[in-house]
């Protein structure tokens, strides 16, 4: 089954890319933005039918490689 | 004295480091990332470059490569491991030294000479060094050192800050911070001080007529300390 993981920067971590994107959008006329934070999105097809087991595997992947827990949080979403 | 330089796919300062180590008397071996065993070494160097194309996060893929388990075991048994630039990024990803390296504050690749100030000399790397301020070269896009408040307190309490960005007089101020690093930190140790990670490249400062000689001073002193 397919499981997705979203990796986002923690609140206290500076995100200069997000800031620049914010400024660019602001310059394009999107003036009602409070803040933009850039993150990462992974779609993982796990060879596992039990959703809980599949999510547990992806959680392990996030902790060991996909996210750096010093600066990032992760959220796991079952997509299929 | 035996040293090993690990080459990852995308490393590009590995041969410079090899030249520098040999110039000052190390018997250096190049080690491929996919090897299982480290040769007998007094010093292991993780060189600069762009291992695995900086995919996912700089250093993250290299930190999981096959040779790294041997490097981690070597470090945990007290062996000297030095990570320069991308090597520093690999070290933080292994967890051997605390913190992470984020993108430079102003999103620029920085390539220039900088001055760094040594914070403490009670370690094999800087013991007996006759200078406190060294001129090294930096070339990186992700050298903005970051750690949590708790980690910062811990590394300060344990004297783990190795070098700070400063000016030629050793003043550590915001204007001499090239990349936005917390507290101008350019390099840090692990708790035991046998693992050193730093962004500046001492191997690029080993020729009087081409660069400067502060790298020579560093390597000569290092080999004497290991002997």
pLDDT for res B101: 97
B-chain CB neighbours of A14 within 8 Å are 102, 105, 144, 146, 180
Going from the N-terminus, what domains does chain B have, and what CATH number goes with each? 2-226 (3.40.50.880)
* Among B13, B33, B58, B85, the one annotated catalytic: B85
A2 and A45 Cβ atoms separated by less than 8 Å: yes
A55 and B45 Cβ atoms separated by less than 8 Å: no
- Closest-CA residue in chain A for B99? A70
Measured CA to CA, the distance from residue A4 to residue B187 in angstroms comes to 36
- CB–CB contact A70 B102 (8 Å): no
- CB–CB contact B107 A16 (8 Å): yes
pLDDT for res A78: 80
pLDDT of residue A79 exceeding 80, the answer is no
B-chain CB neighbours of A20 within 8 Å are 107
Counting one residue from chain A and one from chain B, the pairs whose CB atoms sit within 8 A come to 34
Strand order in the sheet with B195-198: B27-32, B2-7, B43-46, B80-84, B195-198, B185-189, B161-166, B110-118, B133-140
- Closest-CA residue in chain A for B105? A16
Interface test with A, best of B64, B100, B147 (most A CBs within 10 A): B100
The Cα of B99 is separated from the nearest Cα of chain A by a number of Å equal to: 7
- C-beta neighbour count of B226 within 10 angstroms: 16
User: Which residue among B56, B146, B180 sits closest to A71, beta carbon to beta carbon?
Assistant: B146
B-chain CB neighbours of A16 within 8 Å are 103-107
**Domain range list for chain A:** 2-78
DSSP B161-200: EEEEEE-TT----GGG-SS--GGGEEEEE-TTSSEEEESS
Among B9, B14, B12, B7, which Cα is nearest to B32's? B7
Measured CA to CA, the distance from residue B151 to residue A46 in angstroms comes to 35
A-chain CB neighbours of B64 within 8 Å are 65
Measured CA to CA, the distance from residue B101 to residue B117 in angstroms comes to 19
pLDDT for res A80: 65
Q: What is the share, in percent, of chain A residues with pLDDT greater than 70?
A: 99
Report the complex ipTM: 0.80
- C-beta neighbour count of B46 within 10 angstroms: 37
B137 is catalytic: no
Whether chain B has a CB inside 8 Å of the CB on A66: the answer is yes
Topology of domain A2-78, per CATH?
A: Mth169; Chain: A , (3.30.1280)
pLDDT for res B199: 98
Tens-digit pLDDT profile for residues A16-75 = 889 989 999 999 999 999 999 999 999 999 999 999 999 999 999 999 999 999 999 999
B85 is catalytic: yes
B205 and B24 Cβ atoms separated by less than 8 Å: no
Chunked mean pLDDT (size 10), chain B, 227 residues:
97 97 97 96 98 95 96 98 98 96 94 95 96 97 95 97 97 97 98 98 94 95 95
């Amino acid at each position: 089954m397919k499981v997705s993981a979203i990796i986002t920067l923690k609140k206290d971590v500076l995100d200069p890319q997000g800031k620049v994107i914010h400024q660019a959008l602001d310059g394009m006329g999107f003036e009602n933005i409070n803040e933009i934070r850039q993150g990462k999105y992974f779609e993982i097809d796990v060879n596992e039918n039990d959703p809980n087991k599949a999510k547990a595997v992806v959680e392990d992947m996030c902790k060991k490689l996909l996210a750096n827990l010093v600066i990032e949080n992760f959220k796991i979403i079952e997509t299929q | 004295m035996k040293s090993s330089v690990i080459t990852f796919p995308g490393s590009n300062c590995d041969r410079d480091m090899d030249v520098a180590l040999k110039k000052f008397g190390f018997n250096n071996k190049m080690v491929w990332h996919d090897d299982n065993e480290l040769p007998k070494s007094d010093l292991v160097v993780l060189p600069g470059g762009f291992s695995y194309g900086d995919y996912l996060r700089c250093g993250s893929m290299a930190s999981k490569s096959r040779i790294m388990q041997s490097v981690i075991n070597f470090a945990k048994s007290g062996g000297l491991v030095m990570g320069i630039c991308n090597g520093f990024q690999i070290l933080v990803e292994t967890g051997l030294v605390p913190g992470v390296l984020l993108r430079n504050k102003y999103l620029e690749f920085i390539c220039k000479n900088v001055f760094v100030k040594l914070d403490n000399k009670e370690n094999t790397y800087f013991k007996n060094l006759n200078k406190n301020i060294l001129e090294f070269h930096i070339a990186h896009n992700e050298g903005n050192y970051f750690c949590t408040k708790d980690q910062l307190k811990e590394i300060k309490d344990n004297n783990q800050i190795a070098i700070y960005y400063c000016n030629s007089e050793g003043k550590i101020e915001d204007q001499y911070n090239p990349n936005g690093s917390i507290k101008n930190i350019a390099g840090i140790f692990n708790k035991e001080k046998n693992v050193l990670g730093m962004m500046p490249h001492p191997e690029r400062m080993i020729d009087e007529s081409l660069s400067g000689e502060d790298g020579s001073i560093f390597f000569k002193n290092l080999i004497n300390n290991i002997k």
